[in-house]
Amino acid sequence: MKTQTDTPGNHANPAVSLNIAIVGGGRTCRFFLELIKNDPVPFFDIKILGVCDKNDTAEGFELAREMGIYTTDNLYDLLNIQHLDSVLELTGSREVLLEIIRLKPEGVGVLEYNISRILRNLLHTNQQLKSTQKKLVAEKTFSSLLIQQSTAAIVIINTDFTIADVNDAYLNTVKKTKDQVIGAYCYEISHGINAPCSSVFPGVNCPMLETLRSGTNAYVIHDHPGPDGNRLYCSLNTYPIKNDEGKVVQVIEFWRDITAEFSDRWKKREKKFKSDIQKMVQEDRMISLGKLAASCAHEINNPIQGLLTFCDYMLDMLYAGRPEDDQLSQFKDHLTLMSSELERCGNIVSGMLFFARESGLEHQHIDLNEVLHAVLTLTRHKLELGNITLTTDLSPVPLMLEGDINQLQQCFLNLIFNASEAMPEGGRLAVRTWLDPKSDTACVEIRDTGYGIPEKIQDNLFDPFFTTKDVGQGTGLGLSIVHGVVKTHKGTVKIDSREGKGAAFILSFPVISPAAHDPGGG
């Protein structure tokens, strides 16, 4: 269970927001407006969005206008006010009530006969200066009716954690009947446990307990098991119900299901994360391209010099006269070799162009071995120049996964660059892949014989801008990009290293379909 808490009293008022429009602007309307203004109803943050009456001189209609509340004689206009929760019918006319029911938008409730009766009782009580006790009873009944009409899930809990009352919205949330919840312990219904939440889940704050302790409101976010097996994320506000002596005798709890809101936030965060990773990858590719350019130019220049030598040699022989048969045979050998070298140069240039191109995030079915082969083709000569011996042991079966080629290339390129920089005097770099049949994952290990990674900094390696290199020698983003790419591909990355004994990064990715298992796998 996860919980988020706010200090009691510091969170926004936990009262249920209720936006009401009033039909009937007479004396009862005026009394209700004054009641809301001067003596707010417990547990509710009531806002009057509009008042409708044919008589623009009615008491309540005039007061609403003075208070800056929208007034109209058009029922249709009133019912189409934005963010309207309920309509309060105060005319007592059945015809008006039926017209409201016919015209109101779906999802807007109607507060009618019982509410009107209670308000009239309150008005009569107020005018006759009857006992305070009777007024309190009427106000309590009014609050109870509003609770039942509210679309928010509301539960009233006794101090022993048994449920005293609930509204229909709460029953809809927990998918139980009223008989099943009344008298049951709140934690049984909400979490399916047989003891208070805080005793079963250490560190979890119970708003009910907090309100009982402090006598003030409390707020948390809990995750509850849903009736369909999924998790429900709910914001919970608790509010004390006190007796005449100021003692808390019950707690009213407002539930709001924020699962969809959490899901939307998570999707937006995930989308932004992927976008940020893509930008970082593209920027890092440009840096990597600069590192590769010199070694690739050198690798292309060598065969070009050989090609020029062959061309000059063959031209000299042609200028000397018609070539002999044995010379034509040499021509054939030279041309075959030249074609092979030109193809190798073409592959290097194609690889560089493919690597340099900017593209959006594009997941497709790819073979991990082919991605690694392309990266090793680009880096092979740079490793040779650094006196680093490269050995490969790639899985004999394709390692198919769904991913973005550019991101994975950059991921492996960063690991190979890091490995080569850890071996400034040369060394060995071993790259191997295999299919793990137990977890249905494709695994990649990149192991070097460099100076290793101290254990005390291994937990920080993937933090953005963390680097052990000298100033100007690196951005500190290489390994954080590796971690981001692996996470985007639902994979894992582990480190196997001891200081002075080299380092290995082991990456694993879920395969699309483990149609073939590599019997020689890791």
pLDDT in tens, 318-371: 777 777 777 777 777 777 777 777 776 776 666 566 555 555 556 789 999 999
- pLDDT score of 188: 87
Which pLDDT belongs to residue 338?
Answer: 77
Decide if 419 contacts 448 (C-beta within 8 A).
yes
**Residue 73 pLDDT greater than 50, yes or no:** yes
Q: Is the pLDDT of residue 441 over 90?
A: yes
Confidence of residue 51 (pLDDT cuts 50, 70, 90): very high
4 pLDDT more than 50? no
Interatomic CA distance for residues 177 and 182, integer angstroms? 9
What mean pLDDT do residues 460-488 have? 59
Which pLDDT band, with edges at 50, 70 and 90, does 1 fall under?
very low
pLDDT band at 70 (very low <50, low <70, confident <90, very high): very high
Task: Round to whole Å and give the CA distance between 29 and 120.
Answer: 10
Handedness of CA 10, 16, 19, 23 (dihedral sign): negative
Per-residue pLDDT band for 471 (boundaries 50, 70, 90) equals very low
Contact call for residues 411 and 444 (beta carbons, < 8 A): no
Alpha helix positions (H), 320-404: 325-356, 368-385
Across the range 182-187, mean pLDDT stands at 89
> If we measure between CA atoms, which residue out of 224, 222, 253 comes closest to residue 239?
253
Tell me, yes or no, if the pTM score tops 0.75.
no
Q: What pLDDT is stored for residue 56 in this prediction?
A: 92
CA pair distance 159, 341, nearest whole angstrom: 86
Q: Which residue has the higher pLDDT, 178 or 145?
A: 178
Report the residue count for the chain: 522
Q: Return mean pLDDT, the chain.
A: 75
Higher-pLDDT residue of 507, 121: 507
60 falls in which pLDDT band (50, 70, 90)? very high
Q: What's the pLDDT at 113?
A: 47
Question: Is 431 or 460 the better-scoring residue by pLDDT?
Answer: 431
State the pLDDT at residue 313: 72
pLDDT in tens, 245-276: 788 888 888 877 777 666 666 666 666 665 66
Q: Are strands 109-111 and 86-89 parallel, antiparallel or unpaired?
A: parallel
**Per-residue pLDDT tens over the stretch 23-37:** 999 988 888 888 778
Strand partners, 498: none
Three-state DSSP at 213 gives helix
Beta-carbon neighbour count of residue 75 at 10 Å?
Answer: 19
Higher pLDDT, 519 or 96: 96
Express each pLDDT in 77-125 by its tens digit: 999 999 888 888 888 888 888 899 889 988 787 775 455 555 455 445 4
Determine the residue type at 448.
D
DSSP state of 90: -
Q: Contact, 34 vs 107, CB < 8 A?
A: no
For residue 220, list its beta bridge partners: 5, 236
Residue 432 is predicted with a pLDDT of: 95
Q: Of residues 371 and 519, which shows the higher confidence score?
A: 371
CA 218 to chain centre: 26
Report residue 327 CA to chain centroid gap. 71
Query: What is the distance of C-alpha 270 from the center of its chain?
Result: 5
Q: Give the model's pLDDT for residue 80.
A: 92
Spatial distance between the Cα atoms of 381 and 292, rounded to a whole number of angstroms: 9
Burial of 95 (0-12, 13-18, 19+ CB in 10 A): exposed
- For residue range 218-241, what is the model confidence (pLDDT) as tens digits? 878 766 665 555 666 777 788 888
Rounded CA gap, 299 and 507, in Å? 30
For residue 469, pLDDT over 80 is answered with no
- Cα separation, 334 vs 328, in Å, equals 10
Within a 10 A sphere around the Cβ of 323, how many other Cβ atoms?
A: 14
Alpha-carbon torsion (92, 93, 97, 100), positive or negative: negative
Residue 135 has pLDDT above 50, yes or no: no
Task: List, in order of start, the domains of the chain with CATH numbers.
Answer: 9-151 (3.40.50.720), 152-257 (3.30.450.20), 270-510 (3.30.565.10)
Residue 183, pLDDT score: 92
Instruction: Output the pLDDT for position 207.
Output: 84
Vertex 394, ends 391 and 400: CA angle to 5°? 150
The predicted pLDDT at position 6 comes to: 40
For the chain, the distance separating the N- and C-terminal CA atoms, rounded to the nearest angstrom, is 37
Q: Do 503 and 496 touch, CB atoms closer than 8 A? A: yes
Q: Tell me which DSSP letter residue 424 carries.
A: T
Structure tokens at 29: 């309307």
How many Cβ atoms sit within 10 Å of the Cβ of residue 512? 15
Q: Cα–Cα distance between 294 and 328 in angstroms, integer?
A: 37
Residues 399 and 367: beta-carbon distance below 8 Å: yes
pLDDT tens digits for 301-327? 666 776 777 787 777 777 777 777 777
- Residue range 389-405: mean pLDDT, rounded: 91
Q: Is 368 helix (H, G, I), strand (E, B) or coil?
A: helix
For residues 85 and 67, give the distance between their C-alpha atoms in angstroms, rounded to a whole number. 20
As given in the structure block, the two tokens for residue 82 are 């934005």
507 has pLDDT over 90: yes
Residue 491 dihedral angles phi and psi, to the nearest 5°: -105, -175
- SS3 of residue 151 by DSSP: coil
Contact 201, 1 (CB under 8 A): yes
- Tokens 């101090």, residue? 159
Residues facing residue 494 across a β-bridge: 506
User: How far is the C-alpha of 2 from the C-alpha of 103, rounded, in Å?
Assistant: 43
